[in-house]
Structures are given as structure tokens and as C-alpha cells.
Structure 1
Amino acid sequence: MKNITEVKELQLNNDDLKNENAKLQHELEIANAKIKWYEEQFKLNSAKKYGKSSDSFDEEQISFFNEAEITQRPEKEELVLEKITYERSKKRGTNKPSFEDLPIERIEYQIPEEEQVCGECNSKIHEMSVEIRKELKVIPAQVCIVEHVRKVYSCRQCEKTADKTPIITAPMPAPVISGSFASPSLIAYLMYQKYFAALPLDRQEKIFRDFGIEISKQNMSNWIIKASELWLESLFERLRKELLKETFIQADESPLRVLTKDGKPTDSKSYMWLYKSGNFGRKISLYEYQPSRSGKHARKFLEGFHGFLQSDDYAGYNSVEDITRVGCLAHARRYYTDALKILPKEAEIESTNAHKALKYFRQMFHLESKWKDLSLDERQKIRNIELKPVLEAYLSWLQEVQPKIVKKSKLGQAINYSLSNWELFNNILKDGQCELSNNGAERAIKPFVIGRKNYLFCKSPHGAKASAMIYSIVETAKMNNLNPFYYLKYLFEQIPNTKLTAPEALDHLLPWSETLPEECRRLFNTKK
């Protein structure tokens, strides 16, 4: 009996040890998964901080060991040693199109007449040729006071004979801000420096002071907010109506820190929303400040819009009514590039699933690059012939690989993102206006992001709203190849003297209006 009892106790102890071992093994797996996740996050953050921001991967740089296979070009002709090629280097200097209309200041250097003697024979020397060196001279911005003198007239005869003397006053344009010495050019310059050049007001204050002009940043801020509320809001609403007529819009949003009236941060995170037209419609980019990221803001702003809305996978856009959502393949691709960035240095990248997935994206974007000049109908037709099979092949690959991948890994997240957004990706095939990516909206919101890094926050919701309107005017002007400074100056000269009795009253001031003065137009196209 004693032996049987001991055996049972040993069995119980053995079972306890097995259970304890299984428990420890399970905890070890969880701990290893957490460690792996933290390692992924660390490597990804390091890559974002110190690596390139681009999510593209160069095929020729992913592996050192198979460089010969990658760079091999059998069709390439053999180098002939006797063949000598010569290419003239591009001449540098001031002979650029943008310099053609600049005034020329000429400075001549000559030897004094009494010294124009040959050192060899003591004869008088003569001018043989001229050497010219050209330089680009910068003249700092000049500030002056403009006096608006309005004359008042009366009739001397009526003064003598009539009981009432008529008084006639010469017409004079209305000021931008009544009772202020801020001119259209000054306010336009302040806006241009802050919202185009991302120069905060405190730096502008210091620059003005260096040239002997005392203008406080508080005055600058008041002028910017007041002028935008008085004159730009009506133009912003006019542009919004034009945007809602489009049938394809791209959207994005970015966080913004806004202080309360007492100077303290608000409890909730504020956002700057961006809505941009496509490449085939009117060129419009509109920003809107909102105190949250709630989808109700997008629904309200886009009320009346019927068409395709492209964005990332943020669910807030689902609340927008009567639209067809379109996904972004660049966001899907980014997950795979993130997965490659966290791989160990010794990993064979070409053999990874992330690299295999990127081949599908490379093929899709390569096809799309060939169809930029096609009409909408031709673009849609050829997409359904050539792009659709690539999408279907990518879907088959996703369904095959998904069961074999850990869901919480970066690769698992990449695969799940594509599968969960597949219907949105497929909507790209429904209209030729739709883009493969939402990069257009991300590029449009980048100027705001750059400015936010410099001035960090907005001091009030009024300031944030004014910033949204000014960014809208500036970025829309850039899209229509206008000079933002001269366009803003022209707006502040015209709108205060325009009767806003009907929505069409501002049509002659819209960025694509043919009646805009040539001064507002850029001399040559520039990249945004």
C-alpha cells in the first residue's frame, strides 16, 4: 500500500511539473512575442528617425551579395575602347529664364587715362576687348509710408448764392482694416512669410527690427486674423462650392495643438483637415480647422459632394454620405517597407514575403506611370485590362500567405491592412480620376506640417481657423501657378472694394480666372 501511495504522489508531482512547465513555456512565448514587438518598434522608429522618409525600396540596393545578377543587362552593348564620346558641360551663370527681365546695374572698371601707357615702349595703349562678370545682387525689402490724400471739392458759386453747398469727395479705395496702417502689401507679405516660407511671426519681428522697423508680432497676428475673417472667408466659401462640384476628392488630416484663451493646452487634440481636388478637375486645396478628429466634421464639410473620396483607412470618413470611398495603395505598400526596415542586417531580403509583396506594388505603379497622359475613359479601360489582373494576383497571394504569418507582426499587419481594405482598393478601377495613392493629399498637407514644426501651436481657435483659410488660398494659388504674395496683395486690394451681393461677385478673383493681372502669375512653373 505504501508503494502505491508513493507512486500516486509521484504521478501527481509529475503532472504538476508538466502543468508548471507548460505554463512557463506559454509565458516564455508571450514574453518572446513582446520582446520581438519591442525590437520591431525600436528598429522602425530608428529607421524613421535616421533613415529616408521615402517608402520606396531600390531594387539595386537591397542586396550586396547578388549585385551581379541584379545589374546584369545581357542586351547592353560591349564597351568599345576606341569610341570616344564628348559632351559639353552645361553652362552655369545668370543666363536663366527667370533672370531675363531683371534690371541691370553696370559697373565699369578702367585704367586712369594718365596711366594708359605701355610698359615696354612707353606708347599710349588702347581698349582691345571687354571682360564681363555677372552677379546676382540682392536688395533687401524696402518699407515706405504711403499717404492716401483724398481731396474734397465744393462749388464757390453755390457758396455765395445757394442755401446748401454741394460737397464732392474724390473716390478712394477702402483700406484692408479700418483704422490700421497695415496695407494690402504688408498683410500679404506677413502671410506669405508665415504660410509659404514657414517663418513664425517672432522671427519676422526680428527681421523687421534689423531694418529699423518696429512691428510687434501681436500686431502682425491681429492683422492676419482680422484680414482673413473680413475678406478671405468669403473667397474660401466660394472655393469650397467649386470643390464640391468635383467628382473626385482626396482627404487627409494632421494633428494641431491649439491653446485656450488662458494660454493652456486644450484637453482634446485638434486637427487640420485637408480636402484636395484630383488631377483632372479644378486645382483646389482647402484646409479646415476642427477641435477633434470626429467623422462628423468631414460629413459636414463635404455635404453636397457626390463622387469618389480617397483617403487612408480612417473610419471617420465612413460617415460621409453618398460617396464611394477609395483606398490608398501607398499606405498598404508602406506597411511592407516598414517590415523590411526592421529586418536584421544579415537577412536575405529577396526571400522575404515583404519583398515579394513589394513586387506587386512596383508593377502596379509602373503600369500607372505609363497612363498619365490618357483621357479618363481610356485610363479606366486600360486599368481594367492590365491593372486588374495584377490586383487579383496580389489578392491570391495575400489569401495564400495570411494563414502562415503571425498576425501581430509587421508583416501580419501589412497583410491584414490590404485584406481589410480590399474593397476600397478595388474601387480604383471604377473611375479614371481615381489615383492609386493618396499621396497628392499628403503632399498638399505637408506645408502645414512644416509650418507646425516651426511655430509649434496656434494660440487660439480663431488663429487656427485663420491659418486654415490662408493655407487654402496660398496652396490653391500655388497649384494654379500663381505667386502667393502678389495674389494675396491683389485680393486685399480688390475684395474690400467689391460688393459681395452674389456668390458670383468673386469669380473674377478665383485662382484660375483669366482676368487676374500678369503680376500674380509665376514667370515659370515651379514644383510645389
Structure 2
Amino acid sequence: MPSGVRDIQLLELKDTISQLNNTISTQNELIRSPQKMLQERDAKDSEKDQLIANLQAQLDYLKTRLFGSTSEIRHEQLPGQLDLFHLQTEDEPEPVPLEVEYIEVKAHRKARKSKAAYDEVFADLPTENVYVDTLTEEQKTCDVCGTMMIPIGHELIRTELRYTEPKLERIDYYATTYECPQCKETEDPRFIKDEGTPALIPGSYASSGLAAHVMYYKYVMSMPLYRQEKDFEHLGVKISRTTMASWIIYCAENYFLPMYEYLHRKLLKRRYLMADETPIQVLKEEGRRPQSKSYVWLVRTGDNGGIPIL
């Protein structure tokens, strides 16, 4: 083989060896770097463990000082110091132990409260009587003479509660127009229209029962409007929470305000009142920035035996 080719191969081998050395050095650096990080982490963990141990020791010491049993008895005596707990002289007699008097308490059993009857538990519910009639004509025939039997009395055999699911009904009101038959052919016919009672909320489909249902479930049963919205969807109608909120506001301002003012006057006559405030942010409040803090005040009468007013 010519020497020139061999020299070229040797140079290539040297370059390859140099690259391998560089690669090995790089790999070693990469290996040493995580090891160094692990060592530093172990050192920090050791410091934390030592700190936790010190804090735990301090905590145990403080808990012992605060909650542990203590004694004010001194076992050593100071020179010239009298012992407060050993002042008894030799002339004083030994104390006579008192006999413990035992009082026997007779065992007693608490009388079990009688179970309430249905008439007491369901006193406020409407009652419907159902008379059972499930026998066939053949069963009602006397097995001796073949005569058809007749009912002679009834006996209560069981009681059950029936739940009626809530439902929504659409009611369309139609106005009735009347005309005067005598004035019909004249130049001035007379008409009158019976439009019935006005709606609870002008331009709204809310009935008094529906509005009362929304307010009852929100303020008595603590059901938010968004949950009522989902409940109405299950009944087949989509009523938004915004619509229900507008119903509540309108009824409060137009129907409940006189009652509110009356109860407010009664409340101010009480000797003691209790109050609570809740911070709230109000948007689009006249004369105030949206970032300003407002308050909702809840005021109720005290526990003085009168009728509670909230």
C-alpha cells in the first residue's frame, strides 16, 4: 500500500479518536452534572431534616411546658425557710379519715314515647278515600245459594302518600267583546270589551303562582335561580335566570314594598335588634364606581319574646 494512502488513513483515525474523546468528555460532563445536582439536593434535604428535627424538639418542649403536668412542690429546703406543707407539730393528733357516705341511686327506665298515629302526622294533608273494588262478579256470588252479595260496610286497610309531580300549563286568556243590539244599526254602535284582571307583571307570562314558586324556592328552600332554570327545562320550558330575577325585583318593588315598610316600622319599635353586614360589589350604581364596596344589611329583632321580624 503506498505510504500516502496509509498516512491519510492514519490522519482519519486520529480525527476519529479525537472526536470520540470529545464525545466521551461531553458525556462525562453530562453525567457529572446530575450527580452534582443530586449531591446539592441531598445536602439541602439534610439541612431541612435537621431544621425540622430542631423545630419538632422545640414544639415538644413548648407543648410539655404548656399542657404538661406541673408541680409547685420543692423537694429541697432552703436554709431558714419553713415548710408550708409540713407545719404539723408533734402535739397535734393525727387526722381522722372520714368515712365516705355512699348514696344508692335506683335504676330507672325512660318511658318510650308512643308512636304518632297517621291522623296526627298527616293532619294538615287533604284526604281522599278510595273504596276497594277488585273482586270479580264470580267472587261476589255466594257459594251456598248463588245470590249476588251486596256491600254492607267499609274497613280501613292501609294508608299511603301520593306524590303529584309539578307541571307547567299554558293558559290563554281571551277578551270578550259585547255590543248593544239596539244601537247596532244606528250611526253610533256601542261596544264594550271584557279584558279581565290585569297581568301580575305587564308584558310578562308570569302568573302569581309561578312567581311565588320561584321566590319560595330561592329564599325559603335556598335553591339558586340557575338550578331552577335547569328544573324548568326538565318540565319542557326554558325560563332564564335573568327573567326570574326581573320577576322578583318587580314583585318586590310593586307588591312587597308596603308590607316591608310596615314591618320596618314595627321592627324599629323593638328595644333590641341584631344586625349583620355582607360586603358586595354593585355594578352600574348611580354616583359610584364599580370598584367601590357596598354592603347588604340584615336586621332582625332580638330574642325578647315578641314575634320575630327579619
Match of 1:214 in 2: 238
The answer as to 2:181 corresponding to 1:153 is no
The one-character-per-residue Cα deviations of 1:436-489 (angstroms, maximum 9, x if unpaired) are: xxxxxxxxxxxxxxxxxxxxxxxxxxxxxxxxxxxxxxxxxxxxxxxxxxxxxx
Distance 1:88 1:114 in 2: 49
Distance 1:97 1:144, change over 3 A: same
Distance 1:160 1:204 in 2: 56
Residues 99-110 of structure 1 mapped to structure 2, 5 A cutoff = 99=123, 101-104=125-128, 106=130, 108=132, 110=134
SS of corresponding position for 2:183: helix
Structure 2 portions without partners, runs of 5+ = 1-57, 67-101, 285-289
SS of corresponding position for 1:140: coil
Q: What is the deviation of 1:237?
A: 2.6
Distance 1:270 1:107, change over 3 A: farther
Match of 1:440 in 2: none
Q: CA contact under 8 A between 2:175 and 2:196: conserved in structure 1?
A: yes
Residues 175-324 of structure 1 mapped to structure 2, 5 A cutoff = 175-244=199-268, 246-258=269-281, 260=283, 267=291, 269-278=293-302, 279=304, 283-285=308-310
The one-character-per-residue Cα deviations of 1:130-162 (angstroms, maximum 9, x if unpaired) are: 56121111112232223333323332323433x
Distance 2:306 2:112 in 1: 42
Q: Looking at both structures, which has the greater relative contact order when contacts are Cα pairs under 8 Å and sequence separation is at least 6?
A: 1
The answer as to 2:159 corresponding to 1:134 is yes
Structure showing the higher helix proportion among its residues: 1
Pairing partner for 2:197 from 159, 173, 180 = 173
The residue identity in structure 2 corresponding to 1:252 is A
Distance 1:110 1:124, change over 3 A: farther
Q: What is the deviation of 1:277?
A: 3.4
Pairing partner for 1:78 from 92, 106, 115 = 106
The residue identity in structure 2 corresponding to 1:207 is D
Distance 1:145 1:256, change over 3 A: farther
Distance 1:192 1:113, change over 3 A: same
Structure 1 portions without partners, runs of 5+ = 1-30, 40-72, 286-528
Distance 1:129 1:149 in 2: 47
The one-character-per-residue Cα deviations of 1:476-526 (angstroms, maximum 9, x if unpaired) are: xxxxxxxxxxxxxxxxxxxxxxxxxxxxxxxxxxxxxxxxxxxxxxxxxxx
SS of corresponding position for 2:119: coil
The one-character-per-residue Cα deviations of 1:85-113 (angstroms, maximum 9, x if unpaired) are: 89575234532264355131526264545
The residue identity in structure 2 corresponding to 1:108 is V
Please tell me the root mean square deviation across aligned C-alpha atoms, in Å: 4.2
The residue identity in structure 2 corresponding to 1:135 is E
Q: What is the deviation of 1:199?
A: 0.5
Distance 1:136 1:183 in 2: 28
Distance 1:256 1:94, change over 3 A: farther
Q: CA contact under 8 A between 1:205 and 1:214: conserved in structure 2?
A: yes
* Structure of greater Rg: 2
The residue identity in structure 2 corresponding to 1:136 is L
- Report the identity percentage: 28
Q: CA contact under 8 A between 1:243 and 1:282: conserved in structure 2?
A: no
Q: What is the deviation of 1:256?
A: 4.8
